[in-house]
């Protein structure tokens, strides 16, 4: 049962002073200043507004994770639970962020400070809309596709001319793919403006649908100036598009929440830049915290890296990311975990084993575009690999089975993309 | 001479592979994919859109700064200069951030990745308005105050009732202080809404001005939902306010740029949360990069920590922050460095010695509110300490001099706040 008036946070901290004192310092800095009393901090204010340290789990001595003004050879590590009165925060996301993940990272007394987990009160969660589409709405926009969703990224990231871009989209849309997305670097450049990209892509997608019957979603990257978000969103809607993409860490959660207010289409949430405040285990904010805020702000799809990716997180960490996305958050719609980087026919099996769900989207770059028999074969091979993963049959066995029946898509994909073990 | 078509970045990187290869990987990931060729990456695209590694300075072997999928006992450290074609980015701040500080932090091949410095082309700088007020405009709004600006933060951070708040503002405004600011935690809570805070503070400030003749600026924290920024800004303007405050890392640079478009008052830029992507020396973005982007986005005042503060940065690092703020950026107005945390009559001397300028704002919490003879004495003692710092006279000597003439403000401040050496 969530406490209706408390935001409960768990921090990993390191300090040269006793962890209890260090945590109290943090709690004071981020509320009414309990630990170091300030003039005017009345008993009333302390009782009603002070954040409280409710639990300390000591983890022993270790070398400091972060530099500080002072130096310390060994510091005391601990997990500290801090409870913030919701009254200090209200229901505003920016104020929440400032409170639980603001100045505290600067404290010289802390040699590590990481927000590991957050438990938001129902009143806070219920004040936010969450995803408008989520997994159910996205499947509906895709004409009712079942199973894991298969997508890809336009490559090269940048530099395509309008004609080159048209051919790439045509090929992918004709491959009956579920989602095509812009690279996060591709926004609204003069050499291929968003307006032209939207027009061209939607022409090709709607034309391909006449051939394949398949609804392909395109995540148009509308990252850019905040004032122009509406205009860029409207371009997409007017052309019949069903999805816009936002680089959330760059734009900020408040900009995402604003987009959610008026968006008529699904919001594909990219995490470019997130690792800057997440990768070091002694600093910043854990994925399982961040994803809650991004879901409340209204992202329908959220990037979570991918098993076997070229990114830093281990498969265990990526699995934890995905599981956190699949964990219910109040009454909000279920969000779509987006797996990317290094995804191919070899990744569905370990992914399904770790997650046990197909309510996700797998973005494969080379796995689609570089399939020896073309993107259509790439998409089919990925769907077959997902079916095999769900059934629990061995990939090479399934590939051989299809091949014996004259369908070599999976076999060729396995040969090209999956390393022999 | 800045190259008009190139964004030049310096990264600190660590890798198990050769630094040249690691830097090329980064450059490829963040442009057209040079290092790992992708289908459709034509010669034309490579020539026009690829980012190039133009310099590698090897720094030897060391233990990895960051965890990754793979592990490596020793990695190769280097400084890599990467040049991005401006054509990829255009003049958009969000696209710039995504390009120079986006997915690259995730690369598993890198065991450290930090954007140390950036050199923006004039065409990029000139496309942005920069500060509307800056130091000159702020001095003008303050009725022509010369020398270092003196400010303070409302304490306690949170929890004050309207009546308590009124008394705190009254006392500070009557002290002829230059700036009063909300704490970054104080936004628009139900128990003391921004609308009431603005009304009460401006009543008190305008009334105090009748008595003192001094113009006090109040930085009202309008951090919150993006859609409401305009409304909250307008509240301040309508009441005769001259400044709004934004927690920039939480709101995002694009939201700041949007505010700059319509703001009629100075923008006080807080950095709450910035340390999450700045404190670890092997990850994220250096202050001297971030401050350029925040200035281009339109911040008039920018927090830079303070010498002798309770925050993590050493005095050398804080001095470097302030110097970077004082470095001209194209033709933009000069921004106001804001020094905070642990500031008192002891800090002007080392600050002036390090910086050699009084074009800055010093926020003193206890140094004002907790002066034994009240906030008025606190403000006067800080101005006297700044005069002494600029003249190069010893603080205790100056305090004794004033005291002999019957003015004990500085003497009492020195006794209370400055530790004996």
pLDDT tens track for A365-410:
989 999 999 999 999 999 999 999 999 999 999 999 999 999 999 9
Q: Which of B100, B126, B152 is a domain's end point?
A: B126
Cα gap B182→B162, rounded to integer Å: 14
Residues of A in contact with B309 (CB under 8 A): 69, 108
What's the pLDDT score for residue B39?
Answer: 61
Are A137 and A300 contacting, i.e. CB atoms less than 8 angstroms apart? yes
Establish if A108 touches chain B: CB-CB under 8 angstroms: yes
A110 & A56 share domain = yes
A93 & A150 share domain = no
Q: B407: exposed, middle or buried (C-beta count within 10 Å: 0-12, 13-18, 19+)?
A: middle
In the predicted model, what is the mean pLDDT of residues A254-268? 98
> In sequence order, which ranges of A213-335 are alpha helices (DSSP H)?
229-238, 248-251, 253-262, 287-297, 315-326
Other beta carbons within 10 Å of A138: 27
What's the pLDDT score for residue B41?
Answer: 67
Are B79 and B117 contacting, i.e. CB atoms less than 8 angstroms apart? no
Cα gap A93→A116, rounded to integer Å: 18
- Residue B266 to residues B96, B132, B293, B294: CA-CA distances in angstroms? 25, 7, 17, 14
- Residue A258 to residues A294, B93, B230: CA-CA distances in angstroms? 12, 19, 13
Instruction: Give pLDDT tens digits for A6-64.
Output: 999 999 999 999 999 999 999 999 998 744 455 666 888 888 999 999 999 999 999 99
Query: Which tokens belong to B352?
Result: 């002036």
Domain range for residue A60? 6-126
Cα gap A384→A348, rounded to integer Å: 10
- Residue A24 to residues A21, A72, A283, B274: CA-CA distances in angstroms? 5, 20, 18, 21
In a domain, A1, yes or no: no
In a domain, A51, yes or no: yes
Cα gap A8→B421, rounded to integer Å: 42
Q: What is the DSSP pairing of strand A52-62 with strand A75-85?
A: antiparallel
CB atoms B102 and A273 under 8 Å: yes
Cα gap A289→A96, rounded to integer Å: 12
In the predicted model, what is the mean pLDDT of residues A117-132? 97
B118 & B159 share domain = no
For the domain that residue B162 is a member of, what is the CATH number? 3.20.20.110
What's the pLDDT score for residue A34?
Answer: 47
Cα gap A289→B6, rounded to integer Å: 37
Q: What is the dihedral of CA A255, A256, A261, A266, to 10 degrees?
A: 150
In a domain, B350, yes or no: yes
Q: For B397, phi and psi rounded to 5 degrees?
A: -65, -45
In a domain, A235, yes or no: yes
Query: Which tokens belong to B193?
Result: 């809404």
Other beta carbons within 10 Å of B394: 10
B228 & B140 share domain = yes
CB atoms B97 and A310 under 8 Å: no
Query: Which tokens belong to B235?
Result: 């509240």
What's the pLDDT score for residue A141?
Answer: 97
CB atoms A155 and B39 under 8 Å: yes
Query: Which tokens belong to A374?
Result: 């073309």
Establish if B39 touches chain A: CB-CB under 8 angstroms: yes
B206 & B266 share domain = yes
With CA atoms as reference, report the closest residue to A59 among A38, A80, A44, A39.
A80
Beta bridge partners of A6: A85
Q: Provide DSSP, A10-79.
A: EEEEEESS-HHHHHHHHHHHTTT-SSS--TT--HHHHHHH--EEEEEEEEEEE--SS--SS--SSEEEEE
CB atoms B38 and A365 under 8 Å: yes
- pLDDT-derived band of residue A157, with 50, 70 and 90 as boundaries? confident
What's the pLDDT score for residue B42?
Answer: 81
Establish if A156 touches chain B: CB-CB under 8 angstroms: yes
A282 & A250 share domain = yes
Cα gap A96→A38, rounded to integer Å: 23
A79 & A167 share domain = no
Q: Provide DSSP, B34-67.
A: SSS--TT--HHHHHHH--EEEEEEEEEEE--SS-
Identify from B99, B275, B293, B363 which residue to disrupt to test chain A contact, counting A C-beta atoms within 10 A and taking the largest count.
B275
With CA atoms as reference, report the closest residue to A373 among A337, A341, A334, A415.
A415
Which helix (H) or strand (E) segment is B112 a member of?
A: strand B110-119
Identify from B41, B276, B290, B305 which residue to disrupt to test chain A contact, counting A C-beta atoms within 10 A and taking the largest count.
B276
Q: For A195, phi and psi rounded to 5 degrees?
A: -60, -45
CB atoms B108 and A312 under 8 Å: yes
Mean pLDDT (chain A, rounded)? 95
* Unique residue bearing structure tokens 């690259």: B104
In a domain, A33, yes or no: yes
Residues of B in contact with A171 (CB under 8 A): none
Q: Provide DSSP, A117-163.
A: EEE--HHHHHTS---SSHHHHHHHHTTS--SSEEEEE-SSSS---HH
Cα gap A12→A288, rounded to integer Å: 14
With CA atoms as reference, report the closest residue to A36 among B350, B103, B156.
B156
Stated pTM of the model: 0.97
Which helix (H) or strand (E) segment is B261 a member of?
A: helix B253-262
Which residues, 6+ apart, have CB-to-CB distance to A184 below 8 Å?
A: A221, A223, A245, A247, A270, A272, B98, B102, B103
Establish if B147 touches chain A: CB-CB under 8 angstroms: no
What's the pLDDT score for residue B43?
Answer: 84
B103 & B202 share domain = no
Residues of A in contact with B158 (CB under 8 A): 31-32, 45, 49, 88
CB atoms B276 and A309 under 8 Å: no
Query: Euclidean distance between the first and final Cα of chain B, in Å?
Result: 47
Q: What is the ipTM of this complex?
A: 0.96
Helix axes B348-355, B375-391, angle to 10 degrees: 40
Residues of A in contact with B105 (CB under 8 A): 273-276, 279
What is the spatial order of strands in the sheet that B283-285 belongs to? B52-62, B75-85, B6-15, B110-119, B283-285
Q: How many domains does chain B have?
A: 2
| pLDDT tens-place values along chain B, 421 residues long | 566 799 999 999 999 999 999 999 999 999 987 444 556 668 888 889 999 999 999 999 999 999 999 988 999 999 999 999 999 999 999 999 999 999 999 999 999 999 999 999 999 999 999 999 999 999 999 999 999 999 999 988 899 999 999 999 999 999 999 999 999 999 999 999 999 999 999 999 999 999 999 999 999 999 999 999 999 999 999 999 999 999 999 999 999 999 999 999 999 999 999 999 999 999 999 999 999 999 999 999 999 999 999 999 999 999 999 999 999 999 999 999 999 999 999 999 999 999 999 999 999 998 999 999 999 999 999 999 999 999 999 999 999 999 999 999 999 999 999 986 5
What's the pLDDT score for residue A40?
Answer: 66
A79 & A158 share domain = no
Are A172 and A200 contacting, i.e. CB atoms less than 8 angstroms apart? no
Instruction: Give pLDDT tens digits for A185-202.
Output: 999 999 999 999 999 999
Q: Which of B126, B151, B185 is a domain's end point?
A: B126
With CA atoms as reference, report the closest residue to B283 among A371, A96, A275.
A275
Q: Could you say which residues from 371 to 410 on chain A have a Cβ atom under 8 Å away from some Cβ of chain B?
A: none
For the domain that residue B24 is a member of, what is the CATH number? 3.30.70.150
CA of B262 to nearest chain A CA: how many angstroms apart?
Answer: 11
Q: If you ran DSSP here, which 8-state letter would residue B306 be given? A: -
Residue B196: helix, strand or coil by DSSP?
helix
Query: Which tokens belong to A165?
Result: 């871009």
User: How many interface pairs between A and B have CB atoms less than 8 angstroms apart?
Assistant: 315
Are A370 and A416 contacting, i.e. CB atoms less than 8 angstroms apart? yes
Could you give the count of Cα atoms lying within 13 Å of A26 in the half-sphere of its Cβ?
Answer: 39
Are B173 and B208 contacting, i.e. CB atoms less than 8 angstroms apart? yes
Query: Which tokens belong to B281?
Result: 């020396």
Could you give the count of Cα atoms lying within 13 Å of B312 in the half-sphere of its Cβ?
Answer: 24
Q: Which of A126, A154, A177 is a domain's end point?
A: A126
Query: Which tokens belong to B289?
Result: 């990069």
What's the pLDDT score for residue A4?
Answer: 77
Q: For B231, phi and psi rounded to 5 degrees?
A: -60, -45
Establish if A216 touches chain B: CB-CB under 8 angstroms: no
B87, B247, B258 ranked by CB distance to A189: nearest: B87
Query: Which tokens belong to B268?
Result: 């006080």
Could you give the count of Cα atoms lying within 13 Å of A283 in the half-sphere of its Cβ?
Answer: 32
B338 & B241 share domain = yes
In a domain, B84, yes or no: yes
Q: For A239, phi and psi rounded to 5 degrees?
A: -85, 5
CB atoms B225 and A103 under 8 Å: no
In a domain, A210, yes or no: yes
With CA atoms as reference, report the closest residue to A347 among A336, A360, A335, A330.
A360
Beta bridge partners of A219: A181, A243
A84 & A233 share domain = no
In a domain, B1, yes or no: no
B319 & B227 share domain = yes
Q: Could you say which residues from 7 to 36 on chain A have a Cβ atom under 8 Å away from some Cβ of chain B?
A: 30-33
- Residue A91 to residues A87, A88, A402, B184, B190: CA-CA distances in angstroms? 9, 9, 54, 16, 10
Are A147 and A383 contacting, i.e. CB atoms less than 8 angstroms apart? yes
What's the pLDDT score for residue B246?
Answer: 98
């Amino acid at each position: 049962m969530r406490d209706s008036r408390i935001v409960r946070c768990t921090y990993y901290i390191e300090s040269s002073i006793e962890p209890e004192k260090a945590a109290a310092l943090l709690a004071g800095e981020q509320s009414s200043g309990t630990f170091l009393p300030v003039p005017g901090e009345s008993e009333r204010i302390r009782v009603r507004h002070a954040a409280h340290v409710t639990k300390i789990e000591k983890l022993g001595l270790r070398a400091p994770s972060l530099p500080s003004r002072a130096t310390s050879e060994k510091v005391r590590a601990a997990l500290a639970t801090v409870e913030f009165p919701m009254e200090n925060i209200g229901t505003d996301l920016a104020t929440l962020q400032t409170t639980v993940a603001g100045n505290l990272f600067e404290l010289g007394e802390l040699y590590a400070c990481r927000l590991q987990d957050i438990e938001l009160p129902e009143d806070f969660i219920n004040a936010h809309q969450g995803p408008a589409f989520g997994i159910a709405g996205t499947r509906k926009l895709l004409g009712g596709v079942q199973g894991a969703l298969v997508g890809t990224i336009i490559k090269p990231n940048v530099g395509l001319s309008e004609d080159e871009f048209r051919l790439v989209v045509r090929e992918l849309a004709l491959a009956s793919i579920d989602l095509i997305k812009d690279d996060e670097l591709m926004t609204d450049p003069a050499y291929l403006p968003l307006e032209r990209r939207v027009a061209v892509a939607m022409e090709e997608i709607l034309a391909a649908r006449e051939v394949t019957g398949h609804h392909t979603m395109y995540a148009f990257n509308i990252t850019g100036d905040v004032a122009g978000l509406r205009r860029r969103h409207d371009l997409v809607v007017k052309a019949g598009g069903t999805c816009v993409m936002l680089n959330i860490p760059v734009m900020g959660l408040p900009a995402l929440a604003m987009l959610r207010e008026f968006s008529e289409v699904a919001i594909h949430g990219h995490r470019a830049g997130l690792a800057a405040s997440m990768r070091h285990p002694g600093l910043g904010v854990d994925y399982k915290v961040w994803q809650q805020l991004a879901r409340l702000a209204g992202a329908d799809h959220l990037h979570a890296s991918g098993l076997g990716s070229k990114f830093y997180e281990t498969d265990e960490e990526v699995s934890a990311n995905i599981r956190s996305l699949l964990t219910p958050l109040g009454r909000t719609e279920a969000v779509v975990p987006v797996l990317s980087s290094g995804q191919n026919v070899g990744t569905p099996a370990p992914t399904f084993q770790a997650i046990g769900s197909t309510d996700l989207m797998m973005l494969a770059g080379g796995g689609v575009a570089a399939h020896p028999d073309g993107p259509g074969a790439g998409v089919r091979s990925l769907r077959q690999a997902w079916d095999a993963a769900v059934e629990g049959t061995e990939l090479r066995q399934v590939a051989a089975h299809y091949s014996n029946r004259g369908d070599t898509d999976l076999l060729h994909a396995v040969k090209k993309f999956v390393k022999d073990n």
